Amino acid sequence: MSGRPEVLFPLFAGLTKLDGIGPKSAQSLEQAGVLKPRDILMTLPVAGVDRSRRDSVKDVIAPAIATVEVLIGEHHPPRTRGRPYRVFVEDAQTSFQLVFFHARGDYLQKLLPTGQRRIVSGKVEVFDNIAQIVHPDHVLPVDEADQVPAFEPVYPLHAGITQKAMYKATRSALEMAPKLPEWIDPALKAREDWPDWFAAMTAAHNPVTSADLSPHALARERLAYDELLAHQLTLALARAASRQAKGTASVPTGALSDKVMAALPYSQTNAQMRATSEIAADLAAPVRMNRLLQGDVGSGKTLVALMALLGVVEAGGQGVMMAPTEILARQHLDGLQPLAHSAGVRLELLTGRDKGAARVAKLAALAAGEINILVGTHAVFQKDVHFHDLRLAVIDEQHRFGVAQRMQLGAKGRAVDVLVMTATPIPRSLALAQYGDMDLSVLDEKPPGRTPVQTALVSINRLDEVVEKLRKAVAEGKQAYWVCPLVEESEVVDMTAAEERFKRLRATLGEGVVGLVHGQMPPAEKDAAMARFVAGETKVLVATTVIEVGVNVPNASIMMVEHAERFGLAQLHQLRGRVGRGSAASTCLLLYKAPLSETGRRRLEILRETEDGFRISEEDLAMRGAGDVIGTVQSGLPRFRIADLERQAGQMAVAQTDARRLLNDDPTLQSARGQAARTLLWLMEQDKAIRLISVG
């Protein structure tokens, strides 16, 4: 595909081509990530100021903005340094003052010549019963009055750029903006009543009332959709490219998975069966699988993953299952090994702890194909790890695992199929934004025999009662987690909080009853403390959020979360999912410090109302915003300039369907709408996508 379409050249020229932007302003804007006229256009006003003409400053209730025509009277320069310069003026009904600090008299004489009429606009304030405007925003000759819009857009500002300069620059960028071909599906555009791109841009930069600033104004909706569509086209192109990458067809026979199913004491849920067959179909196809398995806490993702791994073993290949930590890798091993054994499949663990002769022997067995399934941490990436025929990689907990690592894994085998599992229920709009290049399987029901967890909110003032209840529960043989929050981001303080709580509980509950796990411990100690708790030797485990993901102790039926108000909703939901895994009735106590803020209380109450992780994540998104739900740093979420992921979530799904349909009908984007879509990709700087089409 040739370079950027000529029609877009003006929007990608230098900033100094715009009115009001000199080299210095351009430099300030560039530091803020505004590099060209296109970025100026994509910087929409955040507010508006009513500058409609009034007869008199008396028509507004101070302090407020007024725009009036005045007759200029006497100038009163300051008598002493540091005093203001005053100019007396009269409008149609009253006289008032214009006030300037540190102003040059000769400049003000030119700007406001006595005896002439001017339009002034600025904030009216009353001082000692006299109305005044300090440093008016606008002073213009009467015949240039139309330079002040009745409703003036207010732009997000960067150091050194004035509103006036932004206003001028955006007008000038609009003059450069070309009419572009339409890339939105005509039926969708008609249904939503959206304007053309140019009309939408013009309207967004010329709001008439504050309603025009809302994300739901038609012009803004359309411009947001353009961004989402470009993003989803990029993901759809990536998906199409990875589907062209020849995969290995591994046709599951069911010989091994049937044996495992027969050995299980329960039957699969419908959701598990549905996900298993979606995955089996992907494995059997000669293209690479790239699928996300999303399931709430305890929805049985591990079994679905095992069925997938057995599927490739049945077809003569090998599988690998990756966990983010050693504790989780071990847990997968403990859970999966007996099942694999019942089918006569060899499943082994490889972590950074394997050393010497034992490691060499394991690696030889792996390279010879004697190990069918390998479970491990990122240690499976080391240079000396070779598989005989790796066909499937299952990755647990996506967000700890970058795209780069997925690629590396691909290099270990020829076009390895990838299945990513996540227990974080991400709202659909965000899942599409982040994993839109993947196909999605959702486990939305829980296996039978799980008892619901009772959730209660308790003020931390009642700590003594809580500890007393815990003492009784422990005496009855129950086990409990006690989670301390991470304080700020300091691991040292966090360690102290957990250690303090550990000492105090040990004093009350007795020596040997309480264990401790926190992020600063050496891995061996951490594992040993976990092992004692799993074996039931310790009854209470004091921990920081290390235990959040995936740890499984069926006998633990109490979860205490201290300072619950400091945790995110999704995190609390994950923590609560650690209990209620056995048949005993389980409780989750959220200890909070009063008084709670309004949103703080609402968040904890949502947890009391529901155990549905998807509903919780939707609420979390509405309350905290997209960056926070996934954690901005590793979110991989695109940065949109106009689209608002919280308020325009529904559009993301429309954009995905639309993008996939367009590529399905026109894989090389050659049709008229396809060519328009290419222009959109160039406009939105989706260079990756453009490279993918040119490869295609």
What CATH number should be reported for the domain holding residue 588?
Answer: 3.40.50.300
- As a three-state string, the secondary structure of 309-331 is HHHHHHCCCEEEEECCCHHHHHH
pTM above 0.75, yes or no: no
In this predicted structure, the answer to whether residue 693 has a pLDDT above a threshold of 90 is: no
CATH number where 136 lies: 2.40.50.140
pLDDT at 178: 93
In this predicted structure, the answer to whether residue 670 has a pLDDT above a threshold of 80 is: yes
Between CA 612 and CA 616 the distance in angstroms is: 6
Q: Does residue 229 lie within any of the structural domains?
A: no
Domain boundary among 443, 471, 488: 443
Mean pLDDT (whole number) for 137-165: 86
Look at 202-206, 342-346, 418-422 and tell me which has the smallest mean pLDDT: 418-422
Q: Does residue 460 lie within any of the structural domains?
A: yes
Tokens, residue 310: 């057995």
Tokens, residue 377: 């941490």
Helix or strand (DSSP H, E) at 262:
helix 255-263
Cross-strand partners of 151: 50
Which residue, chain included where needed, has tokens 């227990």? Answer: 423
Do 473 and 584 fall into the same domain?
A: yes
Q: Does residue 188 lie within any of the structural domains?
A: no
pLDDT at 629: 38
Do 409 and 491 fall into the same domain?
A: no
Q: State the pLDDT confidence band at 95, using cuts at 50, 70 and 90.
A: very high
How many percent of the chain have pLDDT more than 90? 42
Do 277 and 422 fall into the same domain?
A: yes
Q: Say which residue, 188 or 403, is predicted with more confidence.
A: 188
Q: Does residue 637 lie within any of the structural domains?
A: no
Between CA 260 and CA 512 the distance in angstroms is: 39
Between CA 588 and CA 575 the distance in angstroms is: 9
Between CA 320 and CA 324 the distance in angstroms is: 13
Do 403 and 470 fall into the same domain?
A: no
**Residue 394 near residue 419, CB atoms below 8 Å:** yes
Work out the number of other CB atoms within 10 angstroms of the CB of residue 659. Answer: 23
Mean pLDDT (whole number) for 213-227: 93
In this predicted structure, the answer to whether residue 484 has a pLDDT above a threshold of 80 is: yes
Mean pLDDT (whole number) for 142-161: 85
Mean pLDDT (whole number) for 309-321: 94
Total domains in the fold of the chain: 3
- Strand stretches in 205-305, DSSP E: 290-295
Tokens, residue 583: 């048949």
In this predicted structure, the answer to whether residue 99 has a pLDDT above a threshold of 60 is: yes
Do 414 and 478 fall into the same domain?
A: no
Whether the bond into 153 is cis, omega within 30 of 0 = no
Q: Does residue 189 lie within any of the structural domains?
A: no
Tokens, residue 239: 């998906």
Tokens, residue 443: 């486990």
**pLDDT tens profile 496-533:** 778 888 999 998 888 889 998 877 788 778 878 888 88
Do 458 and 401 fall into the same domain?
A: no
Q: Does residue 433 lie within any of the structural domains?
A: yes
333: closest CA among 293, 373, 279? 373
Q: State the pLDDT confidence band at 636, using cuts at 50, 70 and 90.
A: very low
Between CA 423 and CA 411 the distance in angstroms is: 26
pLDDT, mean over the chain: 85
Q: Say which residue, 137 or 298, is predicted with more confidence.
A: 137
Tokens, residue 372: 């069918």
Between CA 191 and CA 674 the distance in angstroms is: 21
pLDDT at 277: 94
In this predicted structure, the answer to whether residue 416 has a pLDDT above a threshold of 50 is: yes
Between CA 608 and CA 457 the distance in angstroms is: 8
Q: Does residue 507 lie within any of the structural domains?
A: yes
37: closest CA among 12, 7, 9? 12
In this predicted structure, the answer to whether residue 490 has a pLDDT above a threshold of 80 is: no
Between CA 507 and CA 174 the distance in angstroms is: 71
Mean pLDDT (whole number) for 430-437: 70
Q: Is 354 exposed, middle or buried (0-12, 13-18, 19+ CB in 10 A)?
A: middle
Tokens, residue 67: 């725009």
Q: State the pLDDT confidence band at 545, using cuts at 50, 70 and 90.
A: low
Do 340 and 383 fall into the same domain?
A: yes
Look at 32-46, 399-413, 458-472 and tell me which has the smallest mean pLDDT: 399-413
Listed ranges 175-189, 260-274, 429-443; the one with the highest mean pLDDT: 175-189
Do 426 and 467 fall into the same domain?
A: no
Mean pLDDT (whole number) for 31-59: 91
Q: State the pLDDT confidence band at 411, using cuts at 50, 70 and 90.
A: low
Instruction: Give phi and psi for 151, each to the nearest 5.
Output: -125, 105
pLDDT at 548: 47
Gyration radius of the chain over CA positions? 32
Work out the number of other CB atoms within 10 angstroms of the CB of residue 689. Answer: 25
Do 518 and 604 fall into the same domain?
A: yes
Q: Is 477 exposed, middle or buried (0-12, 13-18, 19+ CB in 10 A)?
A: exposed
Q: Say which residue, 448 or 465, is predicted with more confidence.
A: 465
Listed ranges 113-122, 405-414, 534-543; the one with the highest mean pLDDT: 113-122
User: Domain of 430?
Assistant: 255-443
Do 558 and 579 fall into the same domain?
A: yes
In this predicted structure, the answer to whether residue 180 has a pLDDT above a threshold of 90 is: yes
Do 460 and 436 fall into the same domain?
A: no
Tokens, residue 330: 């071990």
Do 382 and 497 fall into the same domain?
A: no
**Which residues, 6 or more positions from 507, have their beta carbon under 8 angstroms from its beta carbon?**
none
Between CA 276 and CA 282 the distance in angstroms is: 10
Q: State the pLDDT confidence band at 622, using cuts at 50, 70 and 90.
A: low
Work out the number of other CB atoms within 10 angstroms of the CB of residue 639. Answer: 9
Q: Say which residue, 269 or 201, is predicted with more confidence.
A: 201
Domain boundary among 130, 148, 166: 148
Q: Does residue 650 lie within any of the structural domains?
A: no
In this predicted structure, the answer to whether residue 1 has a pLDDT above a threshold of 60 is: no
Look at 229-233, 490-494, 540-544 and tell me which has the smallest mean pLDDT: 490-494
To 10 degrees, what angle do helices 218-244 and 197-205 make?
Answer: 130
pLDDT at 527: 79
Domain boundary among 443, 467, 486: 443
Between CA 441 and CA 293 the distance in angstroms is: 5
How many percent of the chain have pLDDT more than 70? 88
pLDDT at 631: 36
